[in-house]
Structure 1
Amino acid sequence: MTRLTVLAGPTAVGKGTVSAYIREHFPQVWFSVSATTRPPRPGEVDGVHYHFLSDAEFDELIASGSLLEYAVVHGRHRYGTPRAAVEAEIARGGSPLLEIDLQGARQVREAMPEALFVFLAPPSWEELVRRLVGRGTETQEERERRLASAKIELAAESEFDRTVVNTEVGAAAGEIVGLMGLNTDEMENL
């Protein structure tokens, strides 16, 4: 039976980078496109990276029960996972993977406790800080807010079924895909 895999972890741990690697090297993995009220970052495309919505549009999805999970992240913007697309992929027998935050993972656990919950951890706190600062996409105030959130998120690791340490992107991606029950050897030869 197909089972949803949920990938979560602290800010700047590399969830997006690992997910991008999986998208490129393991095309059999299906990713949900999350909805968000935050503005696009440079290079992000609506409908590809996220569904960029107004607050009113996001409120409509909540009211209609159309989100599997949603949350305010880092005290600023809302993110959510459209329910219908995930349910359709599970019904199709695909290999769905959600890359979401801790709050969302907790909601998905309530809605779909049979899912596999994977925590992506940094090799160390110092490396997490280095990655966040190195991105250069946030202000100093935003970095401080994200690091405060990261401390809370790291403390939730025990809520997950498995932990993958993101020391090297390809290795972390392969480990996650392996946990999903997919054959990683075949994909490496593509």
Structure 2
Amino acid sequence: MTQTATAPGRTGMLVILSSPSGAGKSTLSRRLLSQDDGISFSISATTRPPRPGEEDGREYYFRDRAEFERMIAAGEMLEHAEVFGNLYGSPIGPVRSACNAGRDVLFDVDWQGGQQIRNSAMGRDAISIFILPPSIEELEVRLRKRAQDAPEVIARRMREARREMSHWAEYDYILINDDLDTCYGELESILTAERLRRARRPDIAARARIMSGEIKEIT
């Protein structure tokens, strides 16, 4: 069911979604983006060259290393990391514009990216959600069922998963993805509640102040 989450006067929020590989984060993200028209996916910037068919501003913001490093130094990145010789990061400009328009922005990042976002200039607008598998054994089963990786790659992914999961306590919400529909329903509930917070509804606060003043005048 499609939701319309943008509303006059509502400030958007940064939704950080993290999980170990195989816990279902990508599936939940795709479902959320397809069913909730009040949230957009954060487009990253990168120094790697575009691949055939990719467009600047659609898949990535393509920047050369000098410009990317300038943006980091100027505080124009919410988070960034170097992966296999290329820089990746989340430019703050498009995120701030979306939030000012009342739209939420989804970040599919690891614990390090989430930590950087929470410590950034927009950290007060962020909520963080960590997705856990039902068990470490089930996570390994899911990775093996993919039939995409060699055994040594699966073993490496399991080591990485344990490191990622060791940071669960840094997040605002923890969801266990035992049943996808249930987990998605819980994710929706979190967003609904967070969107209704008084701090994110200055329009409601203004109306409450007016009504409070009217009541005082009557009494």
Equivalent of 2:108 in 94, 99, 102:
99
**Which residue of structure 2 lines up, in the alignment, with residue 165 of structure 1?**
176
Deviation at residue 37 of structure 1 after TM alignment? 6.9
> Secondary structure, in 3 states, of the residue corresponding to 2:118?
helix
Higher RCO, 1 or 2 (CA under 8 Å, sep at least 6)?
Answer: 1
Distance 1:106-1:58 versus aligned 2 partners, 3 A rule = farther
Give yes or no for the alignment of 1:129 onto 2:140.
Answer: yes
> Secondary structure, in 3 states, of the residue corresponding to 1:181?
helix
Deviation at residue 85 of structure 1 after TM alignment? 1.6
Gaps of 5+ in 1: 184-190
Contact 2:130 2:174 in 1 (8 A): yes
Give yes or no for the alignment of 1:113 onto 2:120.
Answer: no
Give yes or no for the alignment of 1:64 onto 2:74.
Answer: no
> Secondary structure, in 3 states, of the residue corresponding to 1:138?
coil
What TM-score results when the alignment is normalised by the length of structure 1? 0.76
Aligned length: 177
Distance 1:33-1:153 versus aligned 2 partners, 3 A rule = same
Letter in 2 for 1:134: K
What does the per-residue CA deviation read over 1:94-120, in whole Å, with 9 as the maximum and x for residues that have no partner? 122211111100100110332111111
**Which residue of structure 2 lines up, in the alignment, with residue 187 of structure 1?**
none
Contact 1:3 1:116 in 2 (8 A): yes
Deviation at residue 36 of structure 1 after TM alignment? 5.4
Deviation at residue 88 of structure 1 after TM alignment? 1.1
Q: Distance in 2 between matches of 1:46 and 1:141?
A: 35
**Which residue of structure 1 lines up, in the alignment, with residue 158 of structure 2?**
147
> Secondary structure, in 3 states, of the residue corresponding to 1:64?
helix
Deviation at residue 175 of structure 1 after TM alignment? 1.7
Gaps of 5+ in 2: 1-10, 195-219
**Which residue of structure 2 lines up, in the alignment, with residue 15 of structure 1?**
25
Letter in 2 for 1:6: I
Q: Distance in 2 between matches of 1:36 and 1:135?
A: 28
> Secondary structure, in 3 states, of the residue corresponding to 2:178?
coil
What does the per-residue CA deviation read over 1:33-72, in whole Å, with 9 as the maximum and x for residues that have no partner? 23457899xxx9666984286xx73563243234311224
Distance 1:47-1:32 versus aligned 2 partners, 3 A rule = farther
Structure 1 or 2, whichever has the larger Rg, is 2
Distance 1:76-1:148 versus aligned 2 partners, 3 A rule = farther
Distance 1:22-1:88 versus aligned 2 partners, 3 A rule = same
* Percent of aligned positions that are identical: 31
Contact 1:19 1:173 in 2 (8 A): no
